[in-house]
C-alpha cells in the first residue's frame, strides 16, 4: 500500500502499517471486537490487497452503560467522545482508535414515524477521523405502535448476547458482528479516500 505524495508527514504511520494494523477498541463485547477486526481485514486485505495482520485491543471504560440512542447524531456523539478520550490517553500507541455503537433513527414518511436500527463505527488515526454506518433494519410496526419516542429503545428485542438486537430483528440473518464490520469498512473507506489507492476501485 502506498501513501499519496501530498501526505509526507505520515510516512512513519504508513511504515508501521506494513507490519500489521493495531486498533484500540472502546469496548469489551466480543461481537464488536471481532466486527472491528473483520471490517479492518476486509479493507486492508481486499480493497488494498495487503496481507497484513490486524489486532484489536479492548479498552475499558468507566462510563455507565447507556440506553439505546434514538438518533444517528446521538450515536455518533457518544462514539466520538469515547474515541477522543482513549486517543488522548494512549497517544500514538495504536494505529487506530475506534468505537462502535448501535441505535435507532426516526424517519417521517407519509405522516407517520418509522424507526430504523443501525450500527455506527468511528475511526480515528493520524490521518483524521471518519464515521461509517451499517445497513439499517426497520423496527416492525407492531413493536412500536402507540409508544412515545422515549419508550422506543425499550421495545426493541435482543440482548448483548446472541448477535444482539440486529440478530433478533432479522432472525439471525444479520447480527451485531457483521453490522459492526460493515460500519468499520465504510469508515476506513472514507478515512483513506484520496489518500490510499484501493484496488477494488479499478473493477467495474
Q: State pLDDT tens for residues 155-195.
A: 666 555 566 788 888 888 899 999 999 999 999 999 988 87
Domain at 8-193: CATH code: 3.90.950.10
**Is 154 in a helix, a strand, or coil?**
helix
Let me know how long the chain is.
Answer: 204
- What nine digits make up the cell of 141? 410496526
Q: What angle do CA 22, 26, 30 make, to 5 degrees?
A: 85
Which H or E run contains 152?
helix 152-155
Backbone CA torsion sign across 87, 89, 91, 97: negative
Query: Which 3 state secondary structure label does DSSP give 85?
Result: helix
What is the Cα 117 distance to its own chain's centre? 14
The pLDDT profile of the chain, 204 residues, written as one tens digit per residue, is 444 444 445 677 777 777 788 999 999 889 999 999 999 999 988 766 767 889 999 998 766 666 677 789 999 999 999 999 999 999 888 999 999 998 888 898 888 888 899 999 999 999 899 999 999 999 888 877 777 766 776 666 655 556 678 888 888 889 999 999 999 999 999 998 887 765 555 444
- Count the neighbouring beta carbons within 10 Å of the beta carbon of residue 84: 16
Q: What number of CA atoms fall less than 13 Å from residue 173's CA on the CB side?
A: 5
Domain ranges for the chain: 8-193
Cβ atoms within 10 Å, residue 45: 14
Amino acid at each position: 500500500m502506498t501513501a499519496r505524495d501530498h501526505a509526507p508527514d505520515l510516512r512513519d504511520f504508513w511504515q508501521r502499517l506494513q507490519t500489521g494494523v493495531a486498533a484500540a477498541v472502546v469496548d469489551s463485547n466480543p461481537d464488536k471486537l471481532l466486527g472491528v477486526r473483520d471490517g479492518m481485514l476486509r479493507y486492508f486485505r481486499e480493497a488494498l490487497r495487503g496481507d497484513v495482520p490486524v489486532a484489536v485491543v479492548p479498552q475499558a471504560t468507566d462510563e455507565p452503560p447507556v440506553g439505546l440512542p434514538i438518533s444517528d447524531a446521538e450515536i455518533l456523539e457518544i462514539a466520538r467522545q469515547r474515541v477522543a478520550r482513549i486517543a488522548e490517553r494512549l497517544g500514538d500507541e495504536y494505529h487506530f482508535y475506534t468505537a462502535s455503537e448501535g441505535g435507532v433513527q426516526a424517519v417521517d414518511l407519509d405522516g407517520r414515524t418509522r424507526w430504523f436500527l443501525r450500527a455506527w463505527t468511528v475511526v480515528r488515526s493520524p490521518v483524521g477521523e471518519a464515521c461509517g454506518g451499517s445497513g439499517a433494519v426497520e423496527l416492525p410496526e407492531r413493536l412500536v405502535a402507540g409508544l412515545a419516542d422515549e419508550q422506543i429503545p425499550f421495545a426493541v428485542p435482543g440482548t448483548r448476547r446472541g448477535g444482539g438486537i440486529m440478530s433478533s430483528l432479522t432472525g439471525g440473518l444479520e447480527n451485531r458482528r457483521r453490522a459492526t464490520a460493515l460500519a468499520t469498512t465504510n469508515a476506513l473507506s472514507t478515512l483513506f479516500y484520496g489518500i490510499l489507492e484501493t484496488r477494488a476501485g479499478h473493477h467495474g
